[in-house]
Chains A and B, each alone.
Chain A
Amino acid sequence: MSRADAAAAILWVGATFYALFGGADFGGGLWDLLAGGDVRGERPRALIQRSLTPVWEANHVWLIFILVVLWTAFPPAFSAVMTTLYVPLALAAVGIVLRGSGFAFRKSIERLSARRAAGATFALSSVLTPFFMGTVAGAIAACNVPAGGDGAPFSSWLAPLPLLSGAMFVATGAYLSAVFLVGDSRRAGDDGLERYFVRRALAAALVAGVAAALGLVELHAEARYIFDRLVDQGLPLVILSALCGLGLLIVLLRGGRRPLRPLAAGAVVAVIWGWGVAQFPYLLPTSLRIDQAAAPDPTLDVVFVVFAIAAVLVLPALGLLYTLTQRDLLEH
């Protein structure tokens, strides 16, 4: 494995963490949006608020990590993506601002109407932000980003595959979030809420599964390069993802207690790495290879050192934060 490949793997690790934790936080916003009126939606919203409050900022940092590693280790790829997909990226950035401030404000505002407005802003932007991020990923997979940048600003992402990818991002986040919230409701000893989120996890799994199946059809039509490798080198990971997804469905339908989170995470992680394997050795299929985009070796070495420090310091610290949250040692 070359240095450049290792740096690309680090980028993918960051994307994996962001999809798992950042994605679940976005999903929490979606369930908040769909929780109904103030009386009916009160309990699920309170649980979502409790689960998200201490962790969402730390989870959000994975996005910064991805962007920084991308521009440091692969500057031309960063520039190409930014000059082509600036419309969905700018919309995602607006969504991030609205979502974070809406979430922070709704907790501290007194007037009920203003809290509702802040809460609705948070919830709605929690759906739109991952959607636009998904279109960016879909446009890259669909080979719509030229190596030199300045690609088509609209047709690059307003196409079936990127739009499906956006829907998949939203559905995956909703799925992860519902599964995580099933666990949280159990810990809170709330059977009603547990059933509530089991139903939602199943619904989200169904939507994500349909979107994934349609995505495969579109991949076949729009991104043959990715499709061919996904059903070849990537096939074991695709099968693993399907097995995890099915396994989780069975556990949920039978009212089983575990392993919920590992199966949900496994299904998502396998898809992300399947995508990575399918587009290897391209960073931007099929216009820019990893080795063509890579920064000089000393810069890549900094990325490795930073990643090593992250593994030694950040991951245990994140573990501590999650443990404290799971043991209800952090108030909300």
Chain B
Amino acid sequence: MISPDALPLAASASNLLAAREQMAFTLGFHIVLSCLGVALPATILVANYIGLKRGDEAAMELAKRWSKAMAVTFAVGAVTGTVLTFEFGLLWPRFMDRFGAAFGVAFAIEGIFFFLEAIFLAIYIYGWKRLSGWAHFWSGVPMFVTGIGGAFAVVAANSWMNQPQGFTLNAAGKVVDTDPVKVLFNPATGYEVPHMILAAYIVVGFLVASIYATGMLKGRRDRLHRLGLLIPLTIGLIAAPLQFLVGDTAARAVAHNQPAKFAGMECVQKTGEDETEYVGGICTSHDGVKLAIPIPGLDSFLVGFSTSTKVTGLNSIPPDERPPANTLLHLAFDTMIGICSLMILLGIWVLWVWWKRRDIPKTPWFLRAVAISGAAAILSLWCGWIVTEVGRQPWIVQGYMRTSEAVTPAHGLWFSFGLVLLLYATIGTIAILVLRSMSRRWREGGVEPEAGGPYAPPGAGEATA
């Protein structure tokens, strides 16, 4: 009998695709939960502050409910984040072997933030009953700080993959010296980090507001729903225009730092001045961009504030260094910008009505717009990550290491991907069902099921508690 150890190592091309798909899927799943971890604390603390300061019971109730929902999302986020930690080694061992000494710096710092966030989150979530009002409020403030700190560290690591610096390689390609400050503060940190932190606030702001907008559309127009819509929506609407500015800066920096990625995003086929900006469309290498709305000269203008700015096209990039899936990149980029623009329009609508009537709009169309804004925000988040990550291909460390060199030779990657799909689909579905049933219970004023033991017989909770 042949020992299973003797199986030949898997073909690396197939492994590369499987590993990339699994990484993209698990990251796409986790990134939504990490947005909640980064930005939900601030949203909860605002409601908590209003509740304490004004004795507003509806605001307090919202803070309580949101923190209970966060207990569920943070738990799922903690374990799906752990999966990513494993995946760095299970999927990309060659990358970690060669660059762990540089790349790891940011993650080591993230560890501290994650630790503190987990600790204070527990104190805050479970401290509602027995800690006094303001002491409890202040126990939650570290979650807000560590959420931002953690996002900084993780995104700095990703920025480093896009703009690697702060290390010295020897002739064998081994990292022999590092400069941790340069690793952390690489040229992409300055725009990637604020871009992601704002994205987290946009996702949380619109997602939470969309839940209450849906409730209001169903006729629940009490103070709790009004506040539940207003607090997060305000946060999202403040973040959206800021995001537009940061994103614009980021795109210009990418045009300069990663011209191949930029050419892919904007479907620039040939290097030249007076480049057309294409809105939407399908990228082709021979016939230009099909089905797009062309705006002559705008692309050059956006890159250098003048239509005579030269923009690098894909024809100047060696074929084996061009990003794949041009149309996907381009449409993802445009969708992200489109959604952010619509959010800004929504903000203008709110300001206009507020200026006229000192109140938020209450028409069904406004509520419908808010109700879909949560899903739109998540879509926009995913599009942004597609632009960043697919646009960086074929590199895992821009200019230094190809993704194909980083992948594991292990067997069974497609099997692993299938298992992960099944597992995540299941826990994702259950998480949503659990959150919905919590919300229904709150509406009906029902008793929390945790009164009894975990699988206590029905009704036995009171007798033994």
Contact = CB atoms under 8 A, between A and B. Distances in A.
Interface in B376-407: none
A79 interface: yes
B24 interface: no
B119 A103 contact: no
Contacts of B131: 329
B78 A100 contact: yes
17 contacts: A38-B455, A39-B457, A42-B453, A42-B464, A64-B114, A68-B107, A68-B108, A68-B111, A75-B98, A86-B410, A97-B427, A149-B97, A153-B411, A295-B178, A299-B105, A302-B105, A332-B450
A314 B115 contact: yes
A103 to B, nearest CB: 7
Interface stretch (B82-90, B277-285, B293-301): B82-90
Contacts of A92: 86
Nearest to B419: A94
B180 interface: yes
Interface of A: 32, 38-39, 41-43, 45-46, 49, 53-55, 57-58, 60-61, 63-65, 67-69, 71-73, 75-76, 78-83, 86, 89-90, 92-94, 96-101, 103-110, 112, 115-116, 118-119, 149-150, 152-155, 295-296, 298-299, 301-303, 306, 309-310, 313-314, 317-318, 320-321, 324, 328-332
B178 A298 contact: yes
Contacts, number: 279
Interface stretch (B233-241, B322-330, B429-437): B429-437
B108 A96 contact: no
B357 to A, nearest CB: 40
Contacts of A330: 122-123, 126-127, 130
A60 B457 CA distance: 30
Contact of A58 (B5, B115, B408): B115
Interface of B: 3-5, 9, 68, 71-72, 74-76, 78-83, 85-86, 88-90, 93-94, 96-102, 104-105, 107-112, 114-116, 118-123, 125-131, 142, 175-180, 408-411, 416, 419, 423, 427, 430-431, 434, 437-438, 441, 449-450, 452-458, 460, 464-465
B454 A46 contact: yes
B145 to A, nearest CB: 11
Given A38-B457, A46-B453, 16 more contacts: A61-B115, A71-B89, A75-B104, A78-B93, A82-B89, A82-B408, A86-B408, A89-B89, A94-B419, A97-B423, A101-B430, A107-B454, A115-B449, A313-B116, A321-B119, A328-B130
A181 to B, nearest CB: 14
B126 A303 contact: no
Contacts of A93: 82-83, 86, 90
Contacts of B83: 93, 96-97
B453 A49 contact: yes
Contacts of A89: 86, 89-90
Lowest 5 A-B CB distances belong to which pairs? A72-B104, A75-B100, A82-B89, A295-B101, A104-B75
Q: Could you tell me the dominant secondary structure of chain A's interface residues?
A: helix
A302 B78 CA distance: 24
Given A72-B105, A101-B431, A320 B85 contact: no
Given A57-B121, A299-B101, A331-B129, A105 B3 contact: no
A192 to B, nearest CB: 11
Which of A41, A89, A105, A116 has the largest number of chain B CB atoms within 10 A?
A105
Nearest to A48: B454
A82 to B, nearest CB: 3
A183 B96 CA distance: 43
B128 A331 contact: yes
A219 to B, nearest CB: 23
Contacts of B121: 57
A61 B112 CA distance: 9
Contact of B116 (A55, A101, A108, A314): A314
Contacts of B98: 75
